[in-house]
Structures are given as C-alpha cells and as structure tokens.
Structure 1
Amino acid sequence: MSSASRHPTPHAPAVIGIDVATASVRVVCVDGRGCVLAEARAELPPPVRTVAGTSEQDARSWWPAVRTALRRTTGALPRGGREVTAVAVSATSGTIVPTGADGVPLGPALMYDDRRAADLNAEAQRVGGARWDALGLSVGPTAALGRAVWCLRTYGRGLRHVLHTPDLVGRALTGRPVATDWSHALKSGYDARAAEWAHEVFDAFDFPLALLPAVRAPATEAGVVGREAAEATGLPEGCSVRLGMTDGCAGQIATGAVEPGRFVGVLGTTYVLKGVSAELVHDATGAVYSHRHPDGWWLPGGASNTGGEWLADVDPARLPALDAAAAARGPASYVRYPLRRDGERFPFVSGAARGFELGRPRDEADAHRAALEGVAFVERLALERVERLGVPVLGPLHAAGGGSRSAVWTAIRATVLDRPVRVVDRAETAFGAALLAATGTLHEDLAAGAAAMVRGGALVDPVPGERSALDDAHGRFVAALRERGWISDG
C-alpha cells in the first residue's frame, strides 16, 4: 500500500462505513483511493450493566444516531451525498436484539458482554461439542447463542426475529429485512465452515431457526437505500447497502491485512493479534479462533488480557516524557509481565496467570520501559503460537490501536519480533466498513480495494543495538512462564 500523498478527486464516487460502537456511532466517507471526504459521529446511551452480569442498551437509539451521523456526513460532501455509491455497517461482536414481526425491538439489546445466559451457553457447548471442535471454537459465557434462547423463553410468541446490530440498521436503511453477515453471526451459533446454523444445538433448545436471519458473505449486497432512509440521511435512494463485519474484523481489514500471511497487532487496552490464513486453524487450547474472510479464507486470532491496560493509573499527559526517558535509557534492567488482571487467554490459556517482576526497577523510566518490553514479549509469543499452528506470518507486522502511536513502543516491538512493524494511518472500524462497502462497487474485490485505499503509514525497523539484550530478556520471560506452569515446551 502506497503512503504517497493523496488528494480527493472532485465528484468521484465514494463509499461510507458505519461503526455502531458501544458509546457512539462513527461514520466515515472515503473515495476509491482512500481519501477521507467527510466524517461524523453521534453519541449513544451508555449500556446499563449490573453486578448480576447483565449488560443492556436501548436498541431504539441506534438508528437515530446512525441517521444523525449520516446526515452530518452527507451534508459536508461536495454533492450533498449524491456521490455515495455504497454503505456498510459494522458493530460490536455478539450484541443481539429481540424484535417483533415489524422489526421493532421488544426490549433492550443484550450486549456483547452480557452473561445472563452463561448456563445456556454451557449447555450449547456440550450439545454441539463435535461441531465446535471442528471449527476450533468454544461457546463462552457471553456468547450470543445462549442469549438468543433466553429471548425466546422471555418473549415467547411475540418474538419473531433475533437480530444483530447491523441487521436492525440495515432494515432501517432499506425498509425491509436484510441478511446478516457470517462475521456477526459467529457468536450466535453460525457455522461458517458448513455454511449453516448449528441446527442440532438450536433443536435441543426448541429454538426455531426461522427466528434467525439469513446469512451471507461480508461485502455482498443486502439491499438498497429506500426513499424514507434517503430523505432522512442524505444518502441517494438506490445506494447499495453492503454487509459489514464485526468491529474487530473491520479494524483488521482497515490495516490492509487482507491476504494470507498478513497479520496485524492491535495494541489497545488489551493486545489482539489478527491475521489471514488459507486454511482453518485448529487450536486445541482455544486461545486462537477464526472468523471467516469475505473471500472464504480464514481470520485466525486471539485476544490477550495483557496490553495498554497497565497504563490505566498513569496520567496520559505524562506519557510523552516517560516514553522519551524509556527511549533514552535503552533496554530495561529487569523483566516485567504487566498483567493487571487474573488469568490469561492468549497467547496461552491459564486461569492462574498473574503479573510478575524478575528484579526491581532502578527508576520510573526503567519500570515504564520494562512494561513496554513485557507487552512486546507477549506479542512475540503470540506470533510464534500462530506459526506453530501452521500459519505463515509474512512481511511486516501491521500495527494498530492507541499503543501504536508510541514511537518507542513500536521500535521495541519491531526489535523483539525481529521484523519491521508498519503503523497504519486509519486502522479503525468505520474505515474497514468503508472498504467492505467499496468491495464489488468501487473495486473488484477486497484485496484490490485495500491496495488502492489503505495508506501504508510509517515502517519502523528493529534497533540492531538492542536486539541482543531484548532477546535475553525475552528468554528469561519465557523461562519464568514455564517455571510457573503457564506454558509448556510444546
């Protein structure tokens, strides 16, 4: 992907990506070369979470927020939105809403972190064990599958549909029911390998499959913008509505990591590794699981409990000075595993895992540097794990997330990995949704769209003078994990 300067072409066709996140809706409009023409956001009410593990949001707030953000975006375009060819919607993974026959919510949306159906999900895991094993997937306590069953038992005959966030927004855009994509359907019990809902599991719960939407590949057309939505949003009537993907998958696509062997390390509150493989990856521990790529490949990855969360107690205003001091001092004098919570889920699975230090810091800069290195050590283990599972990791690692804005942290990551790290300009969900909207409209396929639209960003090379010290520290880190029984030699 070229990082050359780009300028929008006047009156060129454009696409829009919509990200329905937890706190807000974000909309971005880009042309076929990835130039941002306009963008806007609208706030959403915060989810209501309880100590009992429930997590709800008013689903009726989604469309008004989407409508507002779209109107602000199209109003800022040179042709008032007439240049928009297609739109796609991405949202949180595993959020569902019960609706009646008219598509109107019967109650609040059950969010991705809602645990009310943990017992139902445990039963779904047992019933569908053979299927989940073949998929390399497990049904966790927060899976949407169990919550769908809860909706049936709660709303009874009044329940006509269990929809995902983009399904509800897509219906508002088109004026009719739309299919869902196989990315959003994954945690609801869809088997993308067999191209079917896990019917034996739903049968065990007496759950009619007719309550679930049809499923199609991301980036395919779900319908077109109807007259009412066109008047409300500024989108042209007849504009193509394409299927999106979950926020994590769309964020990966936004980096340009869309072909086999390409991976992205997302460094936010936690660390997430995502990539593309030609074949489905099987990880017996469950640390790595796969979404399906729009072109039929697979998107293996995993999410750690380690990451930028260790900075939660640090005043953000102090980070530039701490980074500068960490860069000046060079490799840390001791080893640190900066895990703030109990347990780890990737690149290894251990409920017993706890953060630790091998030695003591000389000063604050040393402690800061050791934590930066500790997350990089986790990232190296993550890449080595997917390679042991038979997935090649090619070329530079794409980098995204707030932590990738730290120059010293990125240089440490490159050195620990002994490979260049490419920081991508707009690695965000809404931009990834725009790429999906451009697939089959502005560009022939996703790879062509990513090549034309994703800006490569800065390429950060390893620091040769620090390689030996960081290799030694990583070895001590791995040895400590083995001594504690959290990882094995396999």
Structure 2
Amino acid sequence: MSERNDCAIAPARYRQAGNAAMVGFEAALHRCIFASDRDTGGAPLLLHKALLDLECKKRRSRAHVVQEDGKLEADFRQEYKESAHLDWADAWQTALWQLLGQLSAVDRSRIGALAIDGTSSTCMLVNQNTLEVLSAPQLYNASQPPSSVQAVKDIAPGGHTATASTSALCKMVTWHHSGTWQTAEVERKRPCLLHQADWLAALLHGQTRHSDWNNALKLGFDPGLPGYPEWLLSQPYAGLLPRHVHAPGHAITTITAETAARTGLPADCLVCAGTTDSNAAFIAAGVSEPGEAVTSLGSTFAVKLLSESRVDNADYGIYSHRLGDGWLVGGASNTGGAVLKQYFNSAQLVELSGRINASLPSPLDYYPLTSPGERFPINDPNLQPRLTPRPDDDADFLHGLLEGVANVEAQAYRRLQQLGATPLTKVLTAGGGAANSKWTHIRSRVLGVPVETSPHGEAAHGAALLAQQGFHEHKRAHARTTCLNPRGGGGVL
C-alpha cells in the first residue's frame, strides 16, 4: 500500500561515542541521576494503564508522580466498575481523565512529562482523524481464530513472537479477514491500529499512529532494524500499522491545548513514548547494567535479564525487547508460588519459613508444578511435577519446595546464558515471593549472585522514569539546537 513506506522509526539515542553499551543503557534509564539542568523542578508523571489483573480480579489504573531525583511523590489509583459487558475503551478513557483530575493533590505546574504503559498486545482499530474507536478492543489474552494464526505463520519467520494466537498481529489479521477495516475505509473513517498505551497517549497529545518498540514487538516490528520487516510491509493491511515507532521514553510532542485546559497540566508538558506493563515494572526495579535481572515471583515466575546481546528462541518462549542499546531477554516458567499455596496458607508459610535454615541446602530434589507441563527452562508439555518424597516435618517440606523453585530459576538463567545472553550478576525480586527473606537467602545461595528485593515493583514507577528520561533528552536536544542558533530555531519535535 502507498502508506507502508512512511514508517518513521526513532533511532537508538543512548550510546555515546566511545562509551560501552552498558553506559548508554544506564543513561537511558537513569538520566535523572546526573542531569540537573531542569530549572523548574518538575516531576515527570506516568499514567499506568495495567488494566486487567486476573489474579486479584480487579480492574484498575494507576498513576505515579516521581520527583527529579527518582523519588515517589504521589501515587493515585482508579478502580473500574465490575461489569459483564464492560466497554473497555470507555473505561480506560474515563479512568485516564479521573486520574488526571486527582493530580490536584500535587502542583501540576511542575509536571514536565508523562508516559503511559499498557498491557502487551491489547489493541484496537481507531479513526486516525478523530481517535474514535472503530472496533472493540482485543485484550492481551484474547486468542484469535486458527485461520488468523495460520495466516501469520505463513508470512512470519518460524517461531516469531507475532505467531502467538494472542499477538497484536493475529488480531489485525482477524480484523482483515472480517472486513472490519475495509468497511471503515469505505466509510472514509481512515482506520489504523493502536495499542492501548498508544491510544491513551494520543488522547492527550492529539497525534495518531505513534507507538513504541516494546508495544509494537508482537505486531511484527523488528527492534533490531529498527523497523517493520518486508514480509509485513508487503501485506494488504500494512497501511494500518503505527507509522512512527519510537524508542521507549522518546519525547513525541506536547499535550494539546484542550488537554492542558481540561487537566491543569502545563501546556509544555511532554508526552513520551511508553512501553508494556511488564517492561515498565522491570525499569522500576532500577536495573541498569548488563547481567542484572528481575525475577517476578507470583503464582508462577518470570525472569527478565538485561543483556548486551539479543536472544530469541521459540522453543522456550524466549524473546527480547529492546531498551536503549540493551536487550531485555525474558522467559516464564509454570513453577512458582501457586504450588506453595496448594499445601500452606499465608500464616503457615510465615511460621514454617521461620524454622528453615536457609544456609543449608535441602536434600530434596523437587520440581514444583501444580499440574503436568513446563515451558521454560524445560520445554516439555508432559513434564510431571516432582514433589516426593514428602518429609514428616512441614518445615522441611517447605524448604524443599522453596529450593526446588530456586533451582528452576537458576536453570532458567543458565538457559538464557547458553543461548547467548549476558551472564547473570545480580537479581532483583518483584512479586509476592520477594517478601520471604528465607526464600531470598535460598535463592541467592542457589543462584550464586546477590538477590535483593526490588525497591519499586509498580509498572507505574517505571513509566515515570521513562518520562524523566524523555524530558531530559528533549531538553538537552533543545539546548544543543539553541546553541547552534542562539536567535531561535525551534525544538526537536
């Protein structure tokens, strides 16, 4: 289609001449640590749109206001009303404006930038002129018909993350097969695909067809180019793709005059490219150097490792997001806290953990699973749980379970290294398992590296840090432009 070559891709901006990739990536995440050139004392804002928490059965949005030194200044939450027929787009939009209304509790004139994170592969078709929603949003976990999945497999490289039945690309193909976007085009509604975070940001800055490397990954975007591959651009629906795909944190533009009047935010408040909720949580943890990782210990566990090299392996469900000049390599296991809850309640876990000598290895060789099947670090849909023998002392049994999960975690990081990722040097922990100090001790012993609790586990905080980074990058670029043309010369937007 004629529009397919209009894709403008923001370049990697973080590597400085003569510096290692690690330094560049650290600058990407923590520019606020050494950039003190803001004269207004602003506190960049994030609006977190993590919509459906299946474990807690809550629907919520969250906003963090973060000071220039990275400290949390304010935390706002907005719940969605339970409904069997919830209009998701309306709920997100309502929550967005309600969260912005809550900012009266802080000095809104100090807010210099904002960024939004959203749930991966949650997307919709919208009118690129009016931002009207043209199709009901498809949520992150909405599996698509086999015909759509096969159509993507027919064009994408084998094992590509976009071939998953819940990917944004499969959803776009479903809309193509149903004639949804074609009908809208006949009606001159100019359809385009936007992810959840893209659309909410567009409501604030007024421009359409902007996305980011992380949200666009499961749409087929290749962050290694960066750009869309030819196998995707040659498709008849390529004109629906977001045209401008930026590095997370890149300053897109300022909010509209209407947004400023409605919210009380300053007219020069920047809207920065966002990310996915899981990547925002990783950024919130404070990881800055290759080899550092975050393990999320919930009902199951997921690992994300900052690596100098990209790793993608469909057999193990491993794929890499690009952040600055680094790669966020991740995988997820079926083991985790759920198996503990099969045997013990919260009070029992606290009492029994207190009786464990975490310095001594357990003699038990468990692979804790709630049911058969594992995906990573072992790809075996028939792998059986290994939970015997069970000792008479429940504390010994729990010790074996905790160490069993730790052994699987260690195997996961070894698998990433075997596939080419940077070796593990440090682990930060998010999720409920982070509260168990004995488990942390066991994991550190088994992993052979320091294990600490993440100081910030909320994705909202991570997106706020992206907003900080985007603000300072924008100001530095503006300062360079002013130096070159002291009589004026505009900004970078």
Common topology (TM > 0.5): yes
Contact 1:275 1:301 (8 Å CA) reproduced: yes
Contact 2:358 2:442 (8 Å CA) reproduced: no
Which residue of the partner structure matches residue 20 of structure 1? 49
Contact 1:124 1:201 (8 Å CA) reproduced: no
Q: Deviations over 1:135-187 (max 9, x none)?
A: x7462121111111112333232160111011111111112325100100111
Taking the aligned partners of 1:176 and 1:138, their CA distance within structure 2 comes to: 26
Taking the aligned partners of 1:382 and 1:253, their CA distance within structure 2 comes to: 20
Q: CA deviation at 1:403?
A: 0.8
Given candidates 389, 397, 403, the residue that maps to 1:359 is: 389
Q: CA deviation at 1:202?
A: 6.0
Q: How many residues align?
A: 424
Taking the aligned partners of 1:137 and 1:215, their CA distance within structure 2 comes to: 18
Task: After superposing the two structures, state which structure 1 stretch, 280-289 or 253-262, moved more.
Answer: 280-289
Taking the aligned partners of 1:151 and 1:284, their CA distance within structure 2 comes to: 25
Taking the aligned partners of 1:117 and 1:186, their CA distance within structure 2 comes to: 20
Task: After superposing the two structures, state which structure 1 stretch, 330-339 or 17-26, moved more.
Answer: 330-339
1:105 aligns with 2:136: no
The one-letter code matched in structure 2 to 1:122 is: Q
Taking the aligned partners of 1:198 and 1:341, their CA distance within structure 2 comes to: 39
Which residue of the partner structure matches residue 271 of structure 1? 301
Which residue of the partner structure matches residue 170 of structure 2? 146
1:92 aligns with 2:119: yes
Change (3 A) 1:47 1:147: farther
SS in 1 for 2:373: coil
Taking the aligned partners of 1:75 and 1:226, their CA distance within structure 2 comes to: 19
Which residue of the partner structure matches residue 194 of structure 1? 225
Contact 1:59 1:109 (8 Å CA) reproduced: yes
Given candidates 309, 314, 318, the residue that maps to 2:338 is: 309
Change (3 A) 1:359 1:115: same
Q: CA deviation at 1:276?
A: 1.8
SS in 2 for 1:25: strand
Which residue of the partner structure matches residue 142 of structure 2? 114
Which residue of the partner structure matches residue 183 of structure 1? 214
SS in 2 for 1:110: coil
1:390 aligns with 2:397: no
Contact 1:181 1:243 (8 Å CA) reproduced: yes
Q: Deviations over 1:184-213 (max 9, x none)?
A: 011112122232224424645x31334534
Contact 1:57 1:111 (8 Å CA) reproduced: no
Contact 1:170 1:177 (8 Å CA) reproduced: no
Given candidates 231, 239, 257, the residue that maps to 1:227 is: 257
What is the aligned-residue identity percentage? 31
Given candidates 156, 161, 169, the residue that maps to 2:200 is: 169
Q: CA deviation at 1:304?
A: 1.2
Taking the aligned partners of 1:347 and 1:232, their CA distance within structure 2 comes to: 49
SS in 1 for 2:315: coil
Change (3 A) 1:150 1:137: closer
Contact 1:182 1:217 (8 Å CA) reproduced: yes
For 1:82-481, list aligned pairs within 5 A.
Answer: 82-101=109-128, 102-129=130-157, 137=161, 139-154=163-178, 155=180, 156-158=182-184, 160-201=191-232, 203-204=234-235, 206-283=236-313, 285-293=315-323, 295-313=324-342, 314-327=344-357, 331-442=361-472
Task: After superposing the two structures, state which structure 1 stretch, 175-184 or 137-146, moved more.
Answer: 137-146
Taking the aligned partners of 1:179 and 1:25, their CA distance within structure 2 comes to: 21
Q: Deviations over 1:65-124 (max 9, x none)?
A: 02212221x2221x2x11111100001111111223421112321111111234312331
Taking the aligned partners of 1:167 and 1:418, their CA distance within structure 2 comes to: 40
Taking the aligned partners of 1:112 and 1:230, their CA distance within structure 2 comes to: 31
Given candidates 51, 56, 67, the residue that maps to 1:31 is: 67
Contact 1:14 1:30 (8 Å CA) reproduced: yes
Taking the aligned partners of 1:57 and 1:335, their CA distance within structure 2 comes to: 48
Segments of structure 2 that go 5 or more residues without pairing to the other structure are 1-25, 31-37, 53-58, 186-190, 476-493
Contact 2:254 2:271 (8 Å CA) reproduced: yes
Contact 1:199 1:209 (8 Å CA) reproduced: no
